């Protein structure tokens, strides 16, 4: 292991915890690495992969993370690749061919890729030694960034017969670690946790009114001119505004957020990595997997979304071990923005009821296109995925498979030439595919169900054949309209009672997230050492003494001000502000929907009726959601 570490990675020794994790994996065990951001979690799977006989499959939540790790591996001549949404069909097919031929040791994908019928058919034929799950806290409802698709990873591991799992995360509390360990049957001794305290980080919380933030930030950056800095903001338009202010003050800064096109984001990131841009003003879209060792400052212009997010984001500073500053310019002014993210993800009773009604009417098999169901139920896609997971956990539905509803192909060789590649029964099967395709001038649409019905309903055989034709360049294949198929395990539920129970679960989740925000504010206003509290929050009891250099230890504990001077809601008429919305929908709306409209929280219904263009959309976005809702209820 140490020879591989030296030969491939150029290191003479392991960092804390790495040898134990790699040893467990190479020894045939599943393991979890709970290391702080920047402590070398990725090397645990990268090195292990070189000692395993078959493919290592890495599930990662962000494309930027995948691309950064690929660049690292390829620079060290480690055969690695990804299959992702930026690739052309030819590029994806080339990667699959390399994997099939054993030329790739590490394949990186997003969790959503495993829902893809074509990909699952492909990967099921490939021997896989290890499933690696990056940002593994996403699998836990107790975590700060629960993603429903992650909850299916234990099922995928079993279905694909992958013998070992490695979980990686920097932000797992004791409850989350326990949840992850149990889901993948990882022995407690193979959960490796290192300390969270990093002595080179100086954690400062500076309480400031909103009007003083820009001046303080500009003075700070001018004092440390030319040093690599990330400034985190909550909203995309804030990134643009703050970056423009810094540029006007002569600071080499640039905005970065998910609203920019992919190529521009890549260019900005590359310039920052190469030192051509000193300061990035970014939403949390920036930073995942950024392996830049000399970031000297991580500044939170707005409050982070949670303590976990804060820990993850400051972890990007000072990875070279040199002194780095983590500064928060804090007040309570944007608390309502953080809370609105939470309230927007709680479905209404009626939306949950409409989903249950569809299941009740489906019979034994329920086929779902997520975007269509989102529109008809008025539930945003992420909470809708969560709802489906809740129903799986209650054994109401059971996922069977996902498939593309539409397949079409373009012949690249004459039809007769294609047939001549096959004999006997296979030739008649290929003929059935050709006959079961509706031809247009260039493209043919495949009626997969009709073809499969003549072959024991073996849909997978038809899809596999089409994939083979595509791989052999006999055809160019396209697919769209992802459809999830569920078995309806129990349709005898009482709709009303189950709707209320599920709604209660979402409300509990909402309450937990709102409490998480409140807990974060209390955390940063405390007189106690920030570094010590952070370590204990993540279950690290090894640090027992105050750090001596954070703002609290320096006698500058923060009391976060609130300086938004808003007219009292009692002097306004929120109900009247919703008249245009009511007219546009032509139906009575709940107080929650009216509140979302006034607070500027998007819903599928609002997207459909173009609510953003209506008078008073987001008119009360600076007020707290619950206050607006209470005011509407009092006017009813």
Task: Give the range among 117-121, 402-406, 408-412 with minimum mean pLDDT.
Answer: 402-406
What pLDDT score was predicted for residue 450? 87
Half-sphere exposure of 501 (CA within 13 A, CB side): 10
Contact 480, 443 (CB under 8 A): no
Q: Which residues pair with 130 in a beta bridge?
A: 56, 164
Spatial distance between the Cα atoms of 269 and 256, rounded to a whole number of angstroms: 8
What pLDDT score was predicted for residue 288? 55
Q: Which residues does 595 contact at the CB level (< 8 Å), separation at least 6?
A: 343, 601, 625, 628, 629, 632
Spatial distance between the Cα atoms of 391 and 373, rounded to a whole number of angstroms: 15
Q: Which residues does 634 contact at the CB level (< 8 Å), separation at least 6?
A: none
Spatial distance between the Cα atoms of 16 and 31, rounded to a whole number of angstroms: 15
Residue located via tokens 């994939």: 467
N residues, the chain: 636
Spatial distance between the Cα atoms of 254 and 239, rounded to a whole number of angstroms: 9
φ, ψ dihedrals at 401, nearest 5°: -165, 170
Please determine, for residue 215, whether its predicted confidence score (pLDDT) is greater than 70: yes
Between 89 and 160, the more confident residue is: 160
- pLDDT tens, residue by residue, 134-156: 989 888 876 667 788 888 899 89
Residue 370 CB neighbours (<10 A)? 16
Q: Do domains 2-193 and 201-330+526-537 have the same CATH topology?
A: yes
Task: State the sign of the Cα–Cα–Cα–Cα dihedral 377, 383, 389, 392.
Answer: negative
Spatial distance between the Cα atoms of 262 and 259, rounded to a whole number of angstroms: 9
The pLDDT of 536-545, averaged and rounded, is: 86
What pLDDT score was predicted for residue 474? 92
**DSSP assignment of 416-472:** HHHHTT--HHHHHHHHHHHHTEEE-SS-EEE-HHHHHHTTTT-HHHHHHHHHHHHHT
What pLDDT score was predicted for residue 636? 62
Residue 273 CB neighbours (<10 A)? 15
Torsion of CA 211, 213, 214, 220, to 10 degrees: 150
**C-alpha distances out from residue 78 to 73, 231, 240, 300, 335, Å:** 5, 33, 38, 36, 45
What pLDDT score was predicted for residue 438? 87
- pLDDT tens, residue by residue, 619-635: 999 999 999 999 999 87
- pLDDT tens, residue by residue, 424-454: 999 999 999 999 898 888 899 988 888 888 8
Q: Which residues does 483 contact at the CB level (< 8 Å), separation at least 6?
A: 367, 368, 369, 402, 403, 404, 405
Please determine, for residue 413, whether its predicted confidence score (pLDDT) is greater than 70: yes
Where is 115: in which H helix or E strand?
A: none
Spatial distance between the Cα atoms of 140 and 182, rounded to a whole number of angstroms: 11
What SS3 string covers 483-516? EEEEEECCCCCCHHHHHHHHHHHHHHHHHHHHHH
Spatial distance between the Cα atoms of 265 and 431, rounded to a whole number of angstroms: 47
**Using 50, 70 and 90 to split pLDDT, how confident is the model at 285?**
low
Spatial distance between the Cα atoms of 128 and 420, rounded to a whole number of angstroms: 34
Spatial distance between the Cα atoms of 92 and 84, rounded to a whole number of angstroms: 8
Contact 87, 109 (CB under 8 A): no
Please determine, for residue 36, whether its predicted confidence score (pLDDT) is greater than 90: no
What pLDDT score was predicted for residue 414? 93
Domain formed by 2-193, architecture: 3-Layer(aba) Sandwich (3.40)
Give this prediction's pTM: 0.78
Spatial distance between the Cα atoms of 490 and 409, rounded to a whole number of angstroms: 38
- Domain ranges for the chain: 2-193, 201-330+526-537, 349-488, 569-635
What pLDDT score was predicted for residue 64? 66
Task: Give the range among 168-177, 399-408, 514-523, 587-596 with minimum mean pLDDT.
Answer: 399-408
Domain formed by 201-330+526-537, architecture: 3-Layer(aba) Sandwich (3.40)
Query: Residue 72 corresponds to which tokens in the numbers above?
Result: 């690292």
- pLDDT tens, residue by residue, 242-258: 999 999 999 999 999 98
Report long-range pairs for 457-460 (Cβ below 8 Å, ≥24 apart): 459/403, 460/121
Mean pLDDT of all residues in the chain? 90
């Amino acid at each position: 292991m140490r020879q591989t570490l030296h030969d491939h990675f150029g290191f003479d020794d392991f960092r804390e915890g790495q040898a134990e994790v790699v040893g467990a994996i190479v020894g045939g065990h599943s393991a979890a690495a709970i290391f702080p951001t920047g402590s070398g979690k990725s090397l645990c799977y990268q090195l292990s992969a070189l000692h395993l006989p078959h493919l290592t499959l890495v599930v990662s939540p962000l494309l930027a993370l995948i691309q950064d790790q690929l660049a690292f591996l390829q620079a060290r001549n480690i055969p690695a690749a990804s299959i992702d949404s930026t690739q052309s069909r030819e590029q994806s097919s080339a990667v699959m061919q390399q994997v099939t031929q054993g030329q790739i040791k590490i394949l990186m994908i997003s969790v959503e890729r495993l829902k893809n019928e074509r990909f699952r058919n492909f990967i099921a034929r490939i021997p896989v030694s290890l499933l690696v799950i990056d940002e593994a806290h996403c699998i836990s409802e107790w975590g700060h960034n629960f993603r429903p698709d992650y909850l299916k990873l234990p099922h995928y591991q079993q279905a694909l017969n992958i013998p070992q799992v490695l979980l990686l995360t920097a932000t797992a509390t004791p409850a989350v670690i326990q949840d992850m360990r149990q889901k993948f049957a990882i022995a407690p001794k193979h959960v490796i946790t290192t300390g969270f305290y990093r002595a080179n980080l100086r954690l400062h919380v500076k309480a400031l009114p909103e009007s003083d933030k820009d001046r303080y930030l500009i003075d700070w950056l001018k004092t440390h001119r030319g040093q690599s800095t990330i400034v985190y903001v909550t909203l995309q338009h804030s990134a643009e505004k703050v970056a423009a202010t810094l540029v006007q003050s002569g600071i080499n800064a640039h905005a970065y957020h998910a609203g920019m096109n992919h190529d521009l984001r890549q260019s900005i990131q590359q310039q920052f990595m190469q030192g051509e841009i000193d300061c990035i003003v970014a939403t949390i879209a920036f930073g995942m997997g950024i392996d830049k060792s000399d970031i000297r400052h991580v500044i939170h212009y707005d409050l982070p979304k949670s303590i976990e997010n804060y820990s993850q984001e400051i972890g990007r500073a000072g990875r070279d071990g040199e002194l780095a500053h983590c500064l928060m310019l804090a007040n309570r002014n944007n608390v309502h923005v953080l809370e609105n993210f939470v309230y927007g993800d709680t479905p209404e009773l009626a939306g949950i009821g409409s989903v249950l009604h569809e299941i009740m009417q489906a019979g034994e098999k329920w086929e779902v296109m997520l975007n269509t169901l989102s529109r008809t139920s008025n539930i945003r896609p992420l909470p809708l995925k969560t709802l489906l997971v809740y129903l799986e956990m209650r054994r109401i539905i059971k996922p069977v498979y996902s498939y593309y509803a539409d397949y079409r192909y373009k012949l690249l060789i004459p039809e007769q030439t294609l047939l001549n590649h096959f004999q006997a029964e296979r030739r008649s099967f290929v003929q059935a595919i050709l006959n079961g395709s509706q031809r247009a001038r260039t493209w043919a649409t495949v009626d997969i169900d009709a073809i499969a019905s003549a072959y024991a309903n073996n849909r997978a055989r038809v899809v596999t054949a089409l994939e083979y034709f595509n791989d052999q360049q006999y055809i160019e294949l396209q697919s769209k309209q992802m459809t999830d198929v569920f078995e309806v395990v129990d349709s005898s539920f009482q709709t009303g009672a189950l709707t209320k129970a599920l709604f209660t679960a979402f409300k509990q989740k909402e309450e937990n997230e709102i409490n998480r925000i409140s807990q974060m504010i209390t955390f940063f206003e405390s007189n106690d050492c920030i570094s010590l509290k952070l370590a204990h929050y993540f279950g690290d009891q090894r640090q027992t003494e105050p750090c001596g250099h954070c703002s609290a230890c320096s006698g500058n504990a923060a009391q976060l001000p609130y300086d938004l001077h808003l007219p009292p809601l009692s002097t306004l008429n929120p109900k009247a502000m919703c008249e245009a919305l009511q007219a546009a929908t032509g139906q009575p709306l709940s107080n929650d929907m009216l509140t979302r409209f006034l607070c500027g929280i998007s819903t599928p219904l609002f997207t459909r009726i173009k609510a953003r263009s209506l008078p008073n959309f987001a008119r009360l976005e600076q007020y707290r959601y619950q206050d607006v809702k209470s005011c509407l209820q009092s006017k009813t």
